Amino acid sequence: MITGLTTGAEMRVTGSGALAVVCANGGQGHEVPGTWSATLEWLVERLAPRFPAIRFGEVRYRVKSWKRLDWCIEDARAAIEDLGSLRTLLLGFSMGGAVSIAAADDSHVEGVLGLGPWIPDRLDVSTLRGKRLDVIHGALDRWLPGIPGVSPSSSRRGFERARTAGAEGCYRTIPGAVHGVAVRGPGDRVLPLPRAARWAELVGAELERFQSS
């Protein structure tokens, strides 16, 4: 089900459980209309049937660009409010990591799970004090000309800043994995990238922890 958010963004909701996972997409330099994330879509399709107690909300930003990071954060906050759960986990891919960390000061948010997350040095991580930040990063992830990416050393630096600010959590890398879990191919098909199954395994383990905590 696709629903409109108060900001003008959209959210695709899967499941009907009492717990909520808000999924925040990545972004780019150019200001372009928001799209659905292939990485998050692939994960939700495979994990939602395992977790009937969780509602997954995938956010499609108004504009998916780090130049409009404040807008993307507003969109994520609107998604948290729309799902209305007393217990929410934010699942952020790439730029969605920064979006999720910024929105984690909501009282209903218990933590952030970042997938290859962009955590710029200027980002305030005090929003995670007393909460969790768990990071999963592809060991081969890096920025290349024309190919988006976030280096593991960058997210590790952000993770350690969050720990210093009072967050708990774990940092894991996946050998052989790149930036993201899936890409969108011809005919709008979502195609898994190398080590996608391992991504799903680790994300599933974090959802188990969230559900049982």
Q: Does residue 33 have a pLDDT over 80? A: yes
Break the chain into its structural domains and give their ranges. 2-212
pLDDT in tens, 120-130: 999 999 999 99
Model pLDDT for residues 146-174, shown as the tens digit of each residue = 667 899 999 999 999 999 999 999 999 99
Please, are residues 87 and 111 in contact by the beta-carbon 8 Å criterion?
Answer: no
CATH architecture of 2-212: 3-Layer(aba) Sandwich (3.40)
Does the pLDDT value for residue 72 go beyond 80?
yes
Unique residue bearing structure tokens 């040095």? 121
The pLDDT > 70 percentage for the chain reads 99
Share of the chain above pLDDT 90, in %: 88
Sort strands 19-24 and 54-60 into parallel, antiparallel or unpaired: parallel
- The four Cα atoms 39, 23, 76, 145 give a dihedral, to 10 degrees, of -20
Q: How far apart are CA 74 and CA 164, in angstroms?
A: 26
